[in-house]
Amino acid sequence: MEYDGVFPNVYSLCNVCLCVLVQTAECCGYPISIFFIVVNEFCERFSYYGMRAVLVLYFRYFLLWDDDLATSIYHAFVALCYLTPILGAIIADSWLGKFKTIIYLSIVYAIGQVTMAVSTIHDITDANRDGTPDNFTFHTALSMLGLVLIALGTGGIKPCVAAFGGDQFQEHQSRQLNTFFSVFYLCINAGSLLSTLITPVLRAQECGIHTQQQCYPLAFGVPAALMVVSLVVFISGSGMYIKTDPEGNIMWSVCKCIGFAIKNRFRHRSSRYPKREHWMDWADEKYDKLLIAQIKMVLKVLFLYIPLPMFWTLFDQKGSRWTLQATTMTGDFGAFILQPDQMQTVNPILILTLVPIMDRLIFPLIQKCGLNFSPLKRMTVGMLFAAMAFVSAALVQIEIDKTLPNFPSSSESQLKVVNIYNRTLNVTISPNEHLLIDSFEVQHTFRHTFSAISRCLFVNGWTADLNITNLDSIEPSATSNYTLVSHGKRDFVLRHGEQWCEFSRKFGFGASYTFLIPSTVFSTDCASIIEVEDMKPNSVHMALQIPQYFLITTGEVMFSVTGLQFSYSQAPKNMKSVLQAGWLCTNAVGNIIVLIVAELGKLPKQWAEYVLFASLLVAVSIVFSIMAYFYTYIDPAEIEAQIRKEQGLESEEKEKETLEMEEIDESQKNDQEVKQTKI
Q: What is the pLDDT of residues 36-65, one digit of tens each?
A: 999 999 999 999 999 999 999 999 999 999
pLDDT at res. 428: 81
Q: How confident is the model at residue 3 (pLDDT cuts 50, 70, 90)?
A: very low
pLDDT higher for 666 or 134? 134
Of the residues 517, 535, 553, which one is the last residue of a structural domain?
Answer: 535
One domain, residues 191 and 129 = yes
What does the pLDDT read at residue 10?
42
Domain end marker among 478, 508, 535: 535
pLDDT attached to residue 410: 61
CB 463 within 8 A of CB 474: no
Does the structure show a pLDDT above 60 at 6?
no
pLDDT for res 574: 83
Please indicate, yes or no, whether residues 260 and 121 belong to a single structural domain of this protein.
no
pLDDT, tens digit, 9 for 90 and up, residues 295-344: 999 999 999 999 999 999 999 999 999 999 999 999 989 888 899 999 99
Question: Based on the domain organization, do 305 and 386 belong to the same domain?
Answer: yes
Is position 637 within any domain? Answer: no
Q: What is the pLDDT of residue 396?
A: 98
Is the pLDDT at 587 greater than 60? The verdict is yes
pLDDT tens digits along 618-650: 999 999 999 999 999 988 888 888 888 887 755
> What is the per-residue pLDDT across 74-127, written as a single tens digit (0 to 9) for each?
999 999 999 999 999 889 988 899 999 999 999 999 999 999 999 999 999 988
Strands annotated E in 392-475: 417-419, 425-429, 433-437, 441-443, 454-460, 467-468
Shortest CA distance to 554 belongs to which of 356, 402, 339, 385?
385
pLDDT at 414: 72
Q: Which of 176-180, 225-229, 400-404, 498-502 has the lowest mean pLDDT?
A: 176-180
Identify whether 254 is part of a domain: yes
The pLDDT, as a whole number, for residue 472 is 73
User: Any idea what DSSP says for residue 132?
Assistant: S
Question: Residues 553, 502: one domain?
Answer: no
Mean pLDDT of the chain: 86
Check whether residue 266 and residue 204 sit in a common domain: no
Boundary-marking domain end, from 535, 550, 565: 535
CA distances from 437 to 370, 420, 548, 611 (A): 75, 10, 46, 44
Tell me what pLDDT residue 407 has.
Answer: 67
Sign of torsion over alpha carbons 557, 559, 562, 563: negative
Is 452's pLDDT higher than 70? no
pLDDT value, residue 28 = 73
Coil, strand, or helix at residue 446?
A: coil
Residue 406 or residue 64, greater confidence: 64
- Top pLDDT among 105 and 507 is at 105
Alpha carbon separation from 621 to 309, 380, 587, 624 (Å, rounded) = 11, 6, 16, 5
Kindly state whether residues 664 and 567 are assigned to the same domain: no
Task: Give the count of domains, the chain.
Answer: 4
Average pLDDT over residues 410-424: 74
Rounded to an integer, the average pLDDT of 8-29 is: 52
Residue 430 — pLDDT band, cuts 50, 70, 90?
A: confident
- Cα separation, 548 vs 295, in Å, equals 39
**Domain ranges, residue 381:** 250-402+542-630
The CA-to-CA distance between both ends of the chain, in Å, stands at 59
Residue 4, C-beta contacts closer than 8 angstroms, at least 6 positions apart: none
* pLDDT (0 to 100) of residue 246: 86
Average pLDDT over residues 127-148: 92
Distance CA 454, CA 512 (A): 6
Average pLDDT for residues 438-454, to the nearest whole number?
A: 57
In this predicted structure, what is the pLDDT of residue 646?
81
* More confident of the two residues 442 and 556: 556
List strand residue ranges (DSSP E) for 398-529, in order.
417-419, 425-429, 433-437, 441-443, 454-460, 467-468, 483-485, 488-496, 499-507, 512-517
Q: Is 66 helix (H, G, I), strand (E, B) or coil?
A: coil
Tell me the pLDDT band of 372, cut-offs 50, 70 and 90.
confident
Please state, in angstroms and rounded to a whole number, the distance separating the CA atoms of residues 331 and 328: 10
User: Is residue 92 assigned to a domain?
Assistant: yes
Checking if the pLDDT of 607 tops 60, the result is yes
Interval 560-570 mean pLDDT: 85
- Rounded to whole angstroms, the Cα distance separating 371 from 367 reads 6
Residue 408 inside a domain? The answer is no
One domain, residues 207 and 266: no
* pLDDT at residue number 12: 46
What pLDDT is recorded for position 404?
79
- Of 258-262, 382-386, 455-459, where does mean pLDDT reach its minimum? 455-459
pLDDT at 70: 96
Within-domain flag for 60: yes
Does the pLDDT of residue 462 top 80, yes or no? yes
Contacting residues for 543 by C-beta, under 8 A, at least 6 apart:
333
- Residue 2, pLDDT > 60, answer no
Contacts 24+ apart (CB under 8 A), 606-609: 606/67, 606/321, 606/325, 606/397, 606/401, 607/393, 607/394, 607/395, 607/397, 607/398, 607/401, 608/394, 609/321
Which of 4-8, 14-18, 48-52 has maximum average pLDDT?
Answer: 48-52
Residue 23 has pLDDT above 70, yes or no: no
Helical segments of 427-575, H only: 546-556, 562-569
CA proximity to 549, closest of 317, 324, 359, 332: 317
SS (H, E, C) 562-597: HHHHHHHHCCCHHHHHHHHHHHHHHHHHHHHHHHHH
Q: Do residues 504 and 596 both lie within one domain?
A: no
What was the pLDDT predicted at 575?
Answer: 86
- For the chain, give percent helix, strand, coil, nearest 5: 60, 10, 25
Please tell me the distance from the alpha carbon of residue 372 to that of residue 518, in angstroms, as a whole number: 75
215: domain CATH number is: 1.20.1250.20
Radius of gyration of the chain (CA): 31
pLDDT of residue 427: 80
Higher-confidence position of 602 and 517: 517
- Label the pairing between strands 454-460 and 512-517: parallel
Chain-centroid distance, C-alpha 436 = 52
Cα–Cα dist 403/330, whole Å: 12
**Which residues, 6 or more positions from 237, have their beta carbon under 8 angstroms from its beta carbon?**
32, 33, 35, 36, 37
Q: What is the pLDDT of residue 613?
A: 97
Please answer whether residues 332 and 453 qualify as being in contact, where contact means their C-beta atoms are separated by less than 8 angstroms.
no
User: Does some domain include residue 407?
Assistant: no
| Residue 138 and residue 231 in one domain | yes
Residue 565 falls within a domain, yes or no? yes
Share of the chain above pLDDT 90, in %: 52
Q: Is residue 668 domain-resident?
A: yes
Q: What pLDDT, on a 0 to 100 scale, did the predictor assign at position 328?
A: 92
Taking 50 as the threshold, does the pLDDT of residue 153 lie above it? yes
Per-residue pLDDT, 443: 62
Does residue 350 sit in the same domain as residue 375?
yes
Asked whether residue 438 carries a pLDDT value surpassing 80, the answer given is: no
CB count in 10 Å sphere of residue 35:
15
- Claim to verify: residue 277 and residue 299 sit in the same structural domain: yes
Does 446 have pLDDT greater than 60? no
The pLDDT-based confidence of 437 (bands split at 50, 70, 90) is confident
**Do 42 and 97 lie in a common domain?**
yes
